[in-house]
Amino acid sequence: METLTLLAQGFAVALTPDNLIWSIIGVTLGTAIGVLPGIGPATTVAILMPLTVGLPPVSAFIMFAGIYYGAQYGGSTTSILLNTPGEAGSMMTAVDGNAMARRGRGAQALATAAIGSFVAGTIGTIGLTFAAPLLVEIALKLTAPDYFALMVLSLATVTTMLSNPTGGGSIAFGIASLFFGLLLGTVGLDPQTGQARFAFGVPELLDGIDTVVVAVGLFAIGETLYMAATDGGKADSMHKLRGSFWMSREDWSRSWKPWLRGALIGFPIGAIPAGGSEIPTVLSYTLEKKLSKKPEEFGLGAIEGVAGPEAANNASAAGALSPLLALGLPTSSTAAVMLAAFQQYGLRPGPLLFESNSSLIWGLIASLYIGNVFLLVLNLPMVGVWVRLLSLPKPWLYGGILVLSSLGVYSLNGNAVDLVILWIIGMVGFVMRVIGVPIVPCVLGLILGPLIEQQLRRSLAISQGDWTVFVTHPVSAFLLLVALAFVATPIISSLRKPKPQSAVGMTR
Amino acid sequence: MTFTRRTALTALAAGSLLAVAPAQAQTIRSLDITVPGGPGSGLDQAARGIEEALRAEGINAVKVNNVPGGGGMIAISQFVTTKEGNRNAVVVQGAGTVFFPLTNKTPVTLADVRPLARLAGEYEVIAVRHDSDVKDFKDLMARFKANPGSVAWGGGSPGSTENIFFARLAKIAGMTPKQVNFIPHPNTGEVVVSALNGQATVVGGGLQDFKTQIEAKKLRLLAVASPERLPDADAPTLRELGYEVVFANWRGVSVHKSLDDKSANALADLFAKLVKSAHWKKILNDRGWLDLYLPEQPYQAFIADETRQAREILTELGLATQ
């Protein structure tokens, strides 16, 4: 086991007092920026980079890795407590996490997110240690048709989320929401030709509408306005904290399998270039809902709906480091900044760096294990503190959410146009909430639409217009079949069933 | 307040000794860099490099301000409106900043700022997967001429560097730019992936983007678009192969148009000194950038030339706005 020997040497590097302190600084900073929506790990590392010139490379990277992992932990906090997802990957966490918080189970939601992040982060790091080169080798075999099929599959799973968990509205509302999201996704430069679409001469719209802006607008702004409009009159009401802060036996038994499944979905998809964190969290959420004995609880505060996606999100973060370390390929903005940081020291990540500078790479990997432990130790006691936010009187809490959301969205790109979009989308979200249109399909349409379009057109450009590529590639054909099954099964089963009450599928 | 007794005295002294003092009075002690791109982008790395080199020279008050979006034009427009008369402000730009306004109507272009110096860059290179059937550059062009659609050319964003670069190669080969089956990608990581999994027949980009894979024998260089052979790349130049194309992805800085010559020259001197500093040379070496320094006049002429050539190609591609 050569890997274990090298990893042991890595721990020897990472466990020196100096490097431990850099790791603590990194994870603390990372958690802090993760909690604030808007400022991401990429920006933070970029700002710190010129300041770390005097530091030994391994210490700088241990700190950067801490920031990266810490930001993944922090992201769930605002999603759960304030319904304000700071990044697309923590959007699915907001759905059931915030519902739990409203029912007085915020502490349990935070705890399952923190422990799930630890479990999945550690599994992901183990994957990074032992399987990264192999996995990246396999991931590189995937071509545009396979990506297209994976994204179509993700879109097909959205069908399970079309109905509104809080009741009211019809499937048609869900489909309308999805298509509104797909429409928003077409705004900006056409990925194939670079021509502007629906930009109306506004340069800020050329890069499209940021997913975070829409997610925060629909979740935080829309929901908060709705809450304020419906029970704003009761001046001193607050979210009740009920019972123990600790997870019950039932919470544990309902959490551990989603953690493991989330990690197993998140790591490989995070490792494929252009996999991202959104698709694994969506797939994990759908899977948990399908497997759950109580699918009706989803959307109303099912703990599996927090445990699974949060684990998938963290495991995908570990996965995303694989192409960077194994091949030197930056496939996310954080990875691009990390690559720049390596270059600052005249290093190029990749197979050769494992040989020429193994103590740096293995020290970095070892620090990921240590950082994960620090994050758990740092975050679990914080649960009790964070959850007290909910004891604020509602008018203050709602005011705070609106200010924090606006601040976070502004700090995303530093332009005021995003704020205008945020508030327009927020108003739309308010109306959607009033008439009972589910919001998740809209955000998923916005995320998946542009990805599907780009991969479809890339596939067809390479095949010179031959549509059969989608069925002649085995991976693509398989994924498309699964997607078809997803859409067709409910329709077929509803046709077969004798109808006790007519039009039951339409009114739900 | 910066008007202290010392500056008052300096001002007095400068008043009486105008002939020798101006350089002193205009010493740059801080720099405000606007970057048309997010953290980690090529232009951001250039700005952070400038910041690092200036710190090594004892100029610590360097602020880098990332303004992504709109093909870099949001940054330019923000720079034009907020930095008027600011003698310590520069904006970074690159090839993409010149090309973008040609394909999209934008309220501002690079013509709204005063290009001051070209600093660094990388020559474009062409690579294929190591075990590709394409033997060499001549073979590539032969395949392209025989069946243009069968060659998938992978590069960055549409209408930008590689798109124009490939189109120029096609023209020299006697084909039209539209016959290039260009496969755009959102970042260089994905370009490399497309080369490695073979979905792009050939890819273009900076040498640094491909170097790790070339050393690992996963990619193979076909040609470089530099005037002479590159010391760390084992491939012929396009010139040698009969294709008169020199093409670089460069980075430079501009100042606000409202600055008088004295203030602009002070900044120009700063960058002229910067490019000679040992620390800057180390940064170039570490990151695999080439010293492509050009002072103000030749830089502006260079931009005009790049714009003219790009407009011609983009018009043929049907991408240019009129």
User: Which two structure tokens, joined as six digits, stand for B233?
Assistant: 């790349």
Residues of B in contact with A413 (CB under 8 A): 67-69
Residue of B nearest to A417 (CA): B74
Chain A within 8 Å of B253 (Cβ-Cβ)?
Answer: no
Burial class of residue B26 in the structure, from the number of CB atoms within 10 Å of its CB (0-12 exposed, 13-18 middle, 19+ buried): middle
> What does the pLDDT read at residue A485?
87
More confident residue, B116 or A50: B116
Query: A50, B55: Cβ pair inside 8 Å?
Result: yes
Out of A190, A329, A462, the one facing B199 most closely (by C-beta) is A462
> What does the pLDDT read at residue B201?
95
* Vertex A462: Cα angle to A460 and A466 (nearest 5): 45
Q: Report ipTM (2 d.p.).
A: 0.80
Cα distance from N-terminal residue to C-terminal residue, chain A: 56
Count of CB atoms within 10 A of residue B146's CB? 9
DSSP summary character for residue A506: H
Residues of B in contact with A190 (CB under 8 A): 158
**Is residue A428 very low, low, confident or very high in pLDDT (cuts 50, 70, 90)?**
very high
More confident residue, A283 or A169: A283
* Vertex B296: Cα angle to B55 and B319 (nearest 5): 105
Tens of pLDDT, residues B247-258: 988 999 999 999
Count of CB atoms within 10 A of residue B265's CB? 17
- Written as one string, the DSSP assignment of A179-237 is HHHHHHHT-EE-TTT--EES-TT-GGGTT---HHHHHHIIIIIIHHHHHHHHHTTSTT-
Work out whether the CA dihedral B183, B184, B187, B188 comes out positive or negative: positive
Tens of pLDDT, residues A107-124: 899 999 999 999 999 999
Task: Give the rounded percent of residues in chain B with a pLDDT score beyond 70.
Answer: 92
- C-alpha to C-alpha distance for A49 and A51, rounded to whole angstroms: 5
Task: Give the rounded percent of residues in chain A with a pLDDT score beyond 90.
Answer: 22
Query: A203, B74: Cβ pair inside 8 Å?
Result: yes
Query: B212, A348: Cβ pair inside 8 Å?
Result: yes
Strands A196-197 and B61-66, by their bridges, are unpaired
The answer to whether residue B169 scores a pLDDT higher than 90 is yes
Chain A within 8 Å of B73 (Cβ-Cβ)?
Answer: yes
Residue of B nearest to A199 (CA): B70
DSSP-based three-state secondary structure for A508: coil
Query: A50, B51: Cβ pair inside 8 Å?
Result: yes
Burial class of residue B231 in the structure, from the number of CB atoms within 10 Å of its CB (0-12 exposed, 13-18 middle, 19+ buried): exposed
Q: What is the mean pLDDT of residues A151-156?
A: 86
Query: A42, B286: Cβ pair inside 8 Å?
Result: no
Query: B69, A190: Cβ pair inside 8 Å?
Result: no
Query: B189, A336: Cβ pair inside 8 Å?
Result: yes
**Is residue B322 very low, low, confident or very high in pLDDT (cuts 50, 70, 90)?**
low
- Mean pLDDT comparison of A112-116, A287-291, B21-25, B98-102, highest-scoring range: A112-116
Residues of B in contact with A460 (CB under 8 A): none
State the nearest Cα–Cα gap between A57 and chain B, in angstroms: 14
Query: B211, A333: Cβ pair inside 8 Å?
Result: no
Out of A194, A345, A348, the one facing B159 most closely (by C-beta) is A194
Work out whether the CA dihedral B272, B273, B277, B279 comes out positive or negative: negative
The answer to whether residue A430 scores a pLDDT higher than 90 is yes
Chain A within 8 Å of B148 (Cβ-Cβ)?
Answer: no
Select from A344, A361, A409 the residue whose CB has the most chain B CBs within 10 Å, as the one to mutate to test that interface: A344
Tens of pLDDT, residues A325-336: 887 777 677 777
State the nearest Cα–Cα gap between A12 and chain B, in angstroms: 28
DSSP summary character for residue A501: S
Q: How far is CA A127 from CA A15, A99, A320, B296, in A?
A: 21, 32, 11, 52
Out of B48, B104, B193, the one facing A49 most closely (by C-beta) is B48
- C-alpha to C-alpha distance for A468 and A485, rounded to whole angstroms: 20
Out of B105, B183, B189, the one facing A329 most closely (by C-beta) is B189
Would you say B200 and A340 are in contact if contact means Cβ atoms under 8 Å apart? no
Q: What is the mean pLDDT of residues A90-117?
A: 89
Select from A140, A456, A475 the residue whose CB has the most chain B CBs within 10 Å, as the one to mutate to test that interface: A140
Q: HSE of A114 in the Cβ direction (CA atoms, 13 Å)? A: 25
State the nearest Cα–Cα gap between A460 and chain B, in angstroms: 10
State the nearest Cα–Cα gap between A195 and chain B, in angstroms: 7
- C-alpha to C-alpha distance for A81 and A376, rounded to whole angstroms: 18
- C-alpha to C-alpha distance for A120 and A255, rounded to whole angstroms: 12
Dmax (CA) of chain A: 74
Chain A within 8 Å of B82 (Cβ-Cβ)?
Answer: no
The answer to whether residue A189 scores a pLDDT higher than 60 is yes
Tens of pLDDT, residues B244-296: 999 988 999 999 999 999 999 999 999 999 999 999 999 898 888 899 999 99
- C-alpha to C-alpha distance for A315 and A236, rounded to whole angstroms: 41
Chain B within 8 Å of A340 (Cβ-Cβ)?
Answer: yes
* Vertex A243: Cα angle to A242 and A248 (nearest 5): 120
- Give the mean pLDDT of chain B: 86
H or E, element range at A36: none
Burial class of residue A349 in the structure, from the number of CB atoms within 10 Å of its CB (0-12 exposed, 13-18 middle, 19+ buried): buried
Which residues in chain B (186-225) have CB-CB distances under 8 A to chain A?
A: 186-190, 192-193, 196-200, 208, 211-213, 215-216
Encode chain B in three state secondary structure: CCCCHHHHHHHHHHHHCCCCCHHHHCCCCEEEEEECCCCCCHHHHHHHHHHHHHHHCCCCEEEEEECCCHHHHHHHHHHHHHCCCCCCEEEEEEHHHHHHHHHCCCCCCHHHEEEEEEEEEEEEEEEEECCCCCCCHHHHHHHHHHCHHHCEEEECCCCCHHHHHHHHHHHHCCCCHHHCEEEECCCHHHHHHHHHCCCCCEEEEEHHHHHHHHHCCCEEEEEECCCCCCCCCCCCECCCCCCCCCCEEEEEEEEECCCCHHHHHHHHHHHHHHCCCHHHHHHHHHHCCEEEEECHHHHHHHHHHHHHHHHHHHHHCCCCCC
DSSP summary character for residue A88: G
Tens of pLDDT, residues A336-382: 788 878 877 777 787 777 777 888 888 889 999 999 999 999 888 88
> What does the pLDDT read at residue A240?
58
**Pick from A156, A141, A151, A153: nearest CA to A473:** A141
Chain B within 8 Å of A274 (Cβ-Cβ)?
Answer: yes
Query: A414, B67: Cβ pair inside 8 Å?
Result: yes
CA dihedral A213, A214, A218, A222 (to 10 degrees): 50
Query: B189, A331: Cβ pair inside 8 Å?
Result: yes
Residues of A in contact with B70 (CB under 8 A): 203-204, 206-207
The tokens 């002072």 sit on which residue? B295
- C-alpha to C-alpha distance for B110 and B114, rounded to whole angstroms: 8
- C-alpha to C-alpha distance for A505 and A485, rounded to whole angstroms: 18
Residue of B nearest to A345 (CA): B286
The answer to whether residue A425 scores a pLDDT higher than 90 is yes
Chain B within 8 Å of A200 (Cβ-Cβ)?
Answer: no
User: Which two structure tokens, joined as six digits, stand for A60?
Assistant: 């700088």
A-to-B residue pairs, Cβ atoms closer than 8 angstroms: 166
Query: A331, B190: Cβ pair inside 8 Å?
Result: yes
**Pick from B98, B162, B173: nearest CA to B139:** B173
Query: B187, A141: Cβ pair inside 8 Å?
Result: no
Query: B39, A46: Cβ pair inside 8 Å?
Result: yes
Chain B within 8 Å of A192 (Cβ-Cβ)?
Answer: yes
Would you say A222 and A432 are in contact if contact means Cβ atoms under 8 Å apart? yes
- Give the mean pLDDT of chain A: 84
- C-alpha to C-alpha distance for B37 and A193, rounded to whole angstroms: 20
Select from A337, A357, A421, A469 the residue whose CB has the most chain B CBs within 10 Å, as the one to mutate to test that interface: A337
Tens of pLDDT, residues A213-230: 898 899 889 988 988 888
Residue of A nearest to B321 (CA): A195
Would you say B115 and B254 are in contact if contact means Cβ atoms under 8 Å apart? yes
Q: Which residues contact A322 (CB under 8 A, 6 or more apart)?
A: A127, A128, A132, A135, A136, A270, A271
- C-alpha to C-alpha distance for A261 and A292, rounded to whole angstroms: 13
DSSP summary character for residue A89: G
DSSP summary character for residue A90: G
Out of B40, B157, B189, the one facing A42 most closely (by C-beta) is B40
**Pick from A334, A210, A213: nearest CA to A270:** A334
- C-alpha to C-alpha distance for A77 and A389, rounded to whole angstroms: 11
The answer to whether residue A233 scores a pLDDT higher than 70 is no
Chain A within 8 Å of B120 (Cβ-Cβ)?
Answer: no
- Written as one string, the DSSP assignment of A310-352 is HHHHHHHHHHHHHHHHHH----SHHHHHHHHHHHHTT---SHH
The answer to whether residue A400 scores a pLDDT higher than 80 is yes
Residues of A in contact with B319 (CB under 8 A): 193-195
Cα distance from N-terminal residue to C-terminal residue, chain B: 49
Query: B189, A50: Cβ pair inside 8 Å?
Result: no
Q: Which residues contact A30 (CB under 8 A, 6 or more apart)?
A: A41, A44, A66, A67, A68, A69, A70, A71, A72, A73, A74
Q: HSE of B183 in the Cβ direction (CA atoms, 13 Å)? A: 32
- C-alpha to C-alpha distance for A21 and B169, rounded to whole angstroms: 54
Out of A49, A144, A352, the one facing B215 most closely (by C-beta) is A352
Chain B within 8 Å of A323 (Cβ-Cβ)?
Answer: yes
